Amino acid sequence: MCLGIPGQIQAISDAAHHLAIVDINGLRRPVNISCIVDGDQALEEYVGAWVLVHVGFALNRLDPEEAAATLALLDQLDLAEGTADAIR
């Protein structure tokens, strides 16, 4: 099973290699954005965009509402896991 996590592009760190710094739930990580880049936009225009990140790659863009809903669901799953551990 694969899990993609929403993150927000904070900066372009290496334009030649399509690398960006992405904030993923408070952690900043280098992410390859080659899969979402098209020739119609300058890389700097991607700063602020929400993306779905899996194993260091931005797989697609997300609208802010979808990103927020996914992050809220992941928070709920984390709470559920903690509750299950406490019950055990």
Residue 81 pLDDT class (50, 70, 90 cuts): low
| Domains of the chain by residue range | 5-87
Between 84 and 28, where is the model more confident?
Answer: 28
Q: How far is CA 64 from CA 14, 49, 85, in A?
A: 24, 8, 32
pTM: 0.86
Q: Is the pLDDT of residue 87 over 50?
A: no
Whether domain 5-87 has CATH 2.40.110.10: the reply is no
* Burial per residue of 15-28, b for 16 or more beta-carbon CB atoms within 10 angstroms, e otherwise: eeebbbbbbeeeee
CA atoms of 2 and 16, how far apart (whole Å): 28
pLDDT in tens, 20-65: 999 998 999 999 999 999 888 999 999 999 999 999 999 999 999 9
